[in-house]
Amino acid sequence: MKVSIGIDIGGTGTKFGIVTLEGKVLYQGAIPTQTEAVFADYIHLLSNEIRKGLDQEKHELIGIGVGAPNANYHKGTIEHAPNLRWKGILPLAKTLEDEFDVPTVVTNDANAAAVGEMIFGGAKGMKDFIVITLGTGLGAGIVSNGQLVNGANGFAGELGHTTVTYGNGRFCGCGKRGCLETYVSATGIKRTIYKLLADYTEDSALRSVSFDELSPEMITKYALKGDIIAKQAFEYTGRILGTKLADTVIHTDPEAIFIFGGLSQAGDLIFNPVKEHLELNLMPVFKGRVRVISSQLQNQSAPIIGASSLIVDKLKKDEISIDVD
């Protein structure tokens, strides 16, 4: 049976899976990301863990797909990732190719999520769509003409760093101020709760919670109970995302925008204001034409399936047969 390996490298943990070309996870595992001081040692450790799941008689390994922070699709490298201990430019694809001797495709996690949505999720058959991932930050993967938009430097789709507020916006880890992800992300909505607690005098259960303790799940829970500050935080977050997405729609004219990740689990609390303010700000010709929907790859294995889908996508491009035996 033909299989690919999907790897999702995060700041703390690395997850991997052996996945069929139809998106079924046959085996999965995880290791901590940063125990090794030398990058090559980490890859060697990871490779040994992956081999435990590879059955040489049953599995024909076709390729490896990796979602990683600050990944350069064109070069197969991780470049200057602030949340990894290894500095500079890391030859990720090459090191994995040396271990497994199969083609390896590397991109950032939001791009991997977009390809996953296209190959295995709700974007099957779509040629123009966008996936927004709401995690610690805001990532995006843009697909146009059925292809992932990578850009000249491999950094296209970093929509978390479009600007919401010029001049005196919130400080962002990227060095700019007023970036979208400082408002719209797990961290962004926490900052908004604290802004609202500062601005208003309303009672709120969240007045007894420290910034470090506060989580999006907690904000969702209290919003559903009617906490006015928590509800207002979703309204504020959704309004900013919807408003900015109106500009994004004009760029690539997507058929749908998929929202993926923690905050999207809040359902109508976040989707309603996003849809309302997107429509309000759309150029008339686009009104009513763009669907905003939840990702259909919302489960624990989604990042692994997304990463593995990079190989299925590559095979399609290379026009190699992907018949499953």
Supply the minimum distance, in Å, between the C-beta of residue 133 and its own copies: 15
Locate 40 and state its tokens.
Answer: 């090559």
Q: Give the residue carrying structure tokens 């207002």.
A: 232
Q: Which of 176, 144, 113, 133 is nearest to 262 (CA)?
A: 133
Q: Residue 177 in contact with residue 168, Cβ under 8 Å?
A: yes
Of 182-190, 242-250, 293-301, 304-312, the window that binds its own copies (rule: CB under 8 A) is 242-250
Please give the Cα distance from 116 to 111 (Å, whole number).
8
Rule CB under 8 A: is residue 99 a binding residue for its own copies? no
Of 6-14, 30-38, 249-257, 261-269, the window that binds its own copies (rule: CB under 8 A) is 249-257
3-state class of 18 per DSSP? strand
3-state class of 30 per DSSP? strand
Rule CB under 8 A: is residue 157 a binding residue for its own copies? yes
Of 20, 34, 136, 252, the residue at the interface with its own copies (CB under 8 A) is: 252
101: region left, alpha or beta (phi > 0 left; psi from -120 to 50 alpha)? left
Of 254, 261, 262, 303, the residue at the interface with its own copies (CB under 8 A) is: 254
Rule CB under 8 A: is residue 37 a binding residue for its own copies? no
Of the pair 36, 255, the CB lying nearest its own copies is at: 255
Supply the minimum distance, in Å, between the C-beta of residue 72 and its own copies: 10
- The 8 Å CB, 24+ separation contacts for 210-214 are 214/190
Rule CB under 8 A: is residue 255 a binding residue for its own copies? yes
Q: Which residues 171-190 are close enough to bind its own copies by CB under 8 A?
A: 174-176, 179
Please give the Cα distance from 290 to 279 (Å, whole number).
9
Of 14, 104, 150, 308, the residue at the interface with its own copies (CB under 8 A) is: 150
Q: Residue 255 in contact with residue 128, Cβ under 8 Å?
A: yes
Q: Residue 290 in contact with residue 256, Cβ under 8 Å?
A: yes
Please give the Cα distance from 147 to 87 (Å, whole number).
31
Of 207-215, 229-237, 245-253, 267-275, the window that binds its own copies (rule: CB under 8 A) is 245-253
Of 55-63, 89-97, 154-162, 304-312, the window that binds its own copies (rule: CB under 8 A) is 154-162
Please give the Cα distance from 294 to 257 (Å, whole number).
8
Q: Which of 9, 95, 99 is nearest to 54 (CA)?
A: 99
Beta 256-260 vs 129-134: how paired, if at all?
A: parallel
Q: Which of 140, 185, 136 is nearest to 158 (CA)?
A: 140
Size of the site for its own copies (CB under 8 A): 43
Rule CB under 8 A: is residue 158 a binding residue for its own copies? yes
Supply the minimum distance, in Å, between the C-beta of residue 155 and its own copies: 5
* Chain centre distance of CA 3: 23
Rule CB under 8 A: is residue 192 a binding residue for its own copies? no
Supply the minimum distance, in Å, between the C-beta of residue 250 and its own copies: 5
Of the pair 224, 256, the CB lying nearest its own copies is at: 256
Of 38, 205, 250, 320, the residue at the interface with its own copies (CB under 8 A) is: 250
Supply the minimum distance, in Å, between the C-beta of residue 163 and its own copies: 6
Q: Which residues 286-325 are close enough to bind its own copies by CB under 8 A?
A: 286, 289
Of 156, 228, 293, 322, the residue at the interface with its own copies (CB under 8 A) is: 156
Please give the Cα distance from 160 to 157 (Å, whole number).
8
Supply the minimum distance, in Å, between the C-beta of residue 128 and its own copies: 4
Residues that bind its own copies (CB under 8 A): 126-129, 142, 144-145, 147, 149-159, 161-163, 166, 174-176, 179, 243, 246-248, 250-255, 281, 283-286, 289
